[in-house]
Amino acid sequence: MADESTRIDGWLYATLAADSALAALVGGPGSPRIFSELAPSGSAFPLVLFTLQSSTDVVGATESTRIMIDAVYAVTAIAETGTWVGDLQDIADRIDAALHSSVGGIVDSTTVFTSHRIQGLRLLEERDGRQFRRLGGIYRIYAR
Amino acid sequence: MEVRTIVVSNRFKAIAAQLHIDAAEVVRETADKIAASERSSTSQRIARTIKVRRQGALTSTVIAGDKTKALHAGFVEYGTAHRAAKPFATPAAEAQRSTFMRRMKTIVRR
């Protein structure tokens, strides 16, 4: 498989969207606001964003055999809010419930083995006097 | 019948001391490599702020950005609500991960 990351993107979207409580918090089950890399311009908040931070091949002793890939993703809730609690916290909790220690699945011949959180993530952005808060975690995902 | 084992000398102390020295070298070198990799893969403004903080022999922290310059390093690494991420720190650290683990195992098994 030349590029597992796009398949992992698909697994992440499907896994997060399948959490009905999470979907309800970000626009409803019909069209949850869950995006990869960047939300479309004009998207409403809150939303969930996942971004690939790094992807490393796990290789065999000869390095010609690719055993699996070790991908690190930032998965966060983003809201225009003045507080870390409330919906932002609820969404971050649902993200973690869906992804931490998750067993994975198969997307388009790529098998996602496991997903687990390796650290939390919290960022505050101020733009034109408006505050956007980002809360979630960094997840390590093994896939082949 | 009684069996007695009498230790007249051991090298455990010397082995432990050498282990500490070797591990410290691996930690220091790895941190330097991560910092160099980060500098080469991000903007000059952020690169100028990247430094390695040694916290004892076995802990080093690579820091990007500071309170007066390049405040936005975290936003570049993880993205914002309005800008896509351009990770530079995570790939640099992850690239050293397997080499670091292998070197540490070699030291312990020696």
Residues of chain A with pLDDT under 70: 1-2
Which residues in chain A touch residue B79, judged by CB atoms under 8 angstroms apart? Answer: 37-38, 49, 51, 74
What would the mean pLDDT of B26-43 be, rounded to a whole number?
A: 96
Residue B33 has pLDDT above 70, yes or no: yes
A35 CB near a chain B CB, below 8 Å?
no
pLDDT in tens, A40-70: 999 999 999 999 999 998 888 777 788 889 9
Burial of A2 (0-12, 13-18, 19+ CB in 10 A): exposed
Q: Looking at CA atoms only, how far is residue B27 from chain A in angstroms?
A: 20
Q: Looking at CA atoms only, how far is residue B79 from chain A in angstroms?
A: 8
pLDDT in tens, B56-93: 989 999 999 887 766 789 999 999 888 999 999 999 99
Task: Inspect the interface and report whether the beta carbons of A132 and B79 lie closer than 8 Å.
Answer: no
Task: Inspect the interface and report whether the beta carbons of A45 and B81 lie closer than 8 Å.
Answer: yes
**Cβ contact B62:B34 at 8 Å:** yes
Average model confidence (pLDDT) for chain B? 91
Q: What is the pTM of this model?
A: 0.87
Q: For A64-86, give the DSSP string.
A: SSEEEEEEEEEEEEEEE-S-SST
Each residue of A125-136: b (16+ CB within 10 Å) or e?
Answer: beeeeeebbbbb
